[in-house]
Structure 1
Amino acid sequence: MARRKKNRRVQRGASRSQPPRAFPWWTIGQGLLTLSLVGVVVWGINHLADPETLPLRQVNIKGQFKYVTQQKLHKVTAGYVKGGFFNVNLKTIRTVVEELPWVAQVNVRRVWPDALQIEVQEKIPLARWGKDALISIEGEIFTPPEASFPQGLPKLQGPPDSERLLVSRLEKIQAQLNSLGLRVVQLTMGERRDWHVVFEDGMELILGRAHSKQRLTRFQQIYAHLLRLHREDIKRVDMRYTNGFAITWHGNTAPAWVREAAFDV
């Protein structure tokens, strides 16, 4: 009997009808809203990309210029400053300006609602490099037109990839000798890392390879106490000696004061 009652309960439960499902109006509404928003966004992007929308009306160029002119910058960017505010290619404009030999850094940005601003930083030349190039204070070699080379720059010369070392050494040597009135016009590092200095009046200083910094300090002391009094007679000072130095005189002849007097350093 118990088994029959159980079967009856199962049959009654299985025979109940399911309630009808509600139509998914909410889901459909969300889908339509999403499609509408996507359409609006696409339309907005296309509208802003249209060159007729917010056209560029002015280009502002900023910087302290000595070797690059604003006229030159306007000229090289004219063919790329076109289109609307949002679709102008900033990267291309930056690349074009950076290709100018005197330009060190460029920053290009949009200025709402219709302007473009180009900020330029020039390279600062430190010295001539070889025959037809310059080297900046950052140790970068660049080759602007020779007619634009500044006058009075010292000359650096050395093996490939030695430019940063030469820049650093020039600055240190010049700073150390400033008080003596000696101005370096040429600094050369040979293939064996030997150092040779030429000063503004033509006097040469040979430091060699080993202990060049110590030799420079010894030259500084000797020059301050003795050699500066006879600077016009000296052609070359060779510091490549452990306990002394050698002097080459103009005309390869010792002046009268040397022949007449003996001195100790």
Structure 2
Amino acid sequence: MSRAPALPLAEQPVDVRLMNGVAAGVFVLAGAALLAAGVAWLSRAPLFTIHAVEIDGDLGRNSVHTIRANAMPRLRGNFFSLDLDQGREAFEAVPWVRSAVVRRVWPDRLAVRLEEHRAAAVWQGDDGNDRLVNSYGELFDANVGDVEDDGLPAFSGPDEAAASVLAMYRRLQPLFEPLDAAIGELHLSHRGSWRVELDSGATLELGRGSEDEVLARAARFVRTLPEVTARWRAPLEYADLRHTDGYAVRLRGVTTKTIN
């Protein structure tokens, strides 16, 4: 005896269609529950615990041991559950680390590539809390004693102007090479006025204005100073470049002179 053909879905009784829908929903929920259970098991399974961290990149200021000792206690989760952004933050919290890229390596390792800060200057804070300026003009906290022997210049000014101060330093420093002098300190006031302390002990008031305007005043000063010091045979103590048509200098043992 042959079986009756199955009715199309649209022609089935309402209760049959309802039962089929409920059954499908149960299967979906069961699948989701199994998936969730699987994820939960993976998140706790000792098989996928992070057993090794490979560190590469800049390691000039930190040893691998120091980096691991600082970062590992901050890591949470295993190979599957570890949040890579939180992992990155854990490594970037290590002193001298500027940036970190963290990725998983199957089945139980992390690969970390680091970029360290390269100190360009010491930043003298108004509150006496000195920090450092990196080669990108970014302020960062580190032990300033680590760079005491590096001969870094000292900067000061509004914190948000650190990059501008570094940029000005890089343009000003070559100007003083004909004088066999180097910038020991560079200060930017909150009103935008620049002051330089040379390694000879001389102070230069450069005044306000655009970078190009300040550099032009400094270049004119450097170009004419040897003639001035040779005339009075005395080293420079102080110079004020804020005059419109010249500058004033004070030489050691000589009264302040205005040079036009």
Match of 2:78 in 1: 84
Structure-1 separation of matches of 2:12 and 2:199: 103
- Letter of the structure 1 residue corresponding to residue 135 of structure 2: I
> Percent identity of the aligned residues?
24
Query: Would you say how many aligned residue pairs link Structure 1 and Structure 2?
Result: 236
Aligned residue in 1 for 2:4 = none
Residue 90 of structure 1, CA deviation: 3.1
Contact 1:90 1:108 in 2 (8 A): yes
CA distance in 2, matches of 1:106, 1:118: 7
The within-5 A match list for 1:17-32 is 21=13, 30-31=24-25
1:164 CA displacement: 2.8
Residue equivalent to 2:251: 249
1:140 matched residue in structure 2:
138
Match of 2:102 among 96, 100, 108: 108
Residue segments in structure 2 that go unaligned for 5+ positions in a row: 1-10
Q: Matches of residues 52-67 of structure 1 in structure 2 within 5 Å?
A: 52-67=46-61
Map of 1:173 onto structure 2: 172
1:117 aligns with 2:115: no
Query: Which amino acid in 2 is paired with 1:244?
Result: G
> How do residues 132-211 of structure 1 correspond to structure 2 at under 5 angstroms?
132-151=130-149, 152-159=151-158, 161-178=160-177, 181-209=180-208, 211=213
- Give me the whole-angstrom Cα distance separating, in 1, the residues matched to 2:140 and 2:117: 9
Q: Which residue does 1:212 correspond to in 2?
A: 214
Question: How many angstroms apart in 2 are the aligned matches of 1:98 and 1:83?
Answer: 18
Give per-residue Cα distances to partners, 1:147-172, cap 9 Å, x unaligned: 22343110112245432322221122
SS of aligned partner of 2:244 = coil
Q: Distance in 2 between matches of 1:188 and 1:197?
A: 6
Q: How far is 1:74 from its partner?
A: 0.8
Deviations for 1:52-94, whole angstroms, at most 9, x for unmatched residues?
2423221111221222222111112232446531123434333
Distance in 1 separating the partners of 2:27 and 2:244: 90
The answer to whether 1:128 aligns with 2:130 is no
Q: Residues of 1 paired with 2:230 and 2:103: CA distance?
A: 59
Q: Label 1:83 to 1:228 Cα distance change in 2 as closer, same or farther (>3 A).
A: same
Note closer, same or farther for the CA distance 1:52–1:192 as it changes in structure 2 (3 Å cut): closer
Amino acid at match of 2:227: L
User: Which letter maps to 2:250?
Assistant: T
Q: Which amino acid aligns with 1:135?
A: V
In structure 2, distance between residues paired with 1:241 and 1:138: 33
Bigger Rg, structure 1 or 2: 1
1:44 deviates by 2.5
SS at match of 1:139: coil
Q: Secondary structure at the match of 2:155?
A: strand
Provide the C-alpha distance between the structure 2 equivalents of 1:135 and 1:30, rounded to a whole number of angstroms: 62
- Read off the aligned partner of 2:113 and give its amino acid letter: E
Higher mean alpha-carbon deviation, 54-63 vs 142-151, is at 142-151
For residue 37 of structure 1, the aligned residue among 31, 37, 43 is 31
- Report the equivalent of 2:3: none
Q: Which residues of 2 match residues 222-233 of structure 1 at below 5 A?
A: 222-223=224-225, 226=227, 233=235
Q: CA deviation at 1:190?
A: 3.0
SS in 1 for 2:46: coil
Deviations 1:13-46 (A, max 9, x none): xxxxxx9959558657645653553344234323
Contact 1:56 1:114 in 2 (8 A): yes
* C-alpha RMSD over aligned residues: 3.3
| Structure 1: runs of 5 or more not aligned | 1-18, 255-263
CA distance in 2, matches of 1:174, 1:146: 22
Q: TM-score, normalised by structure 2?
A: 0.73
Would you say the 8 A contact 2:202–2:237 is kept in 1? yes
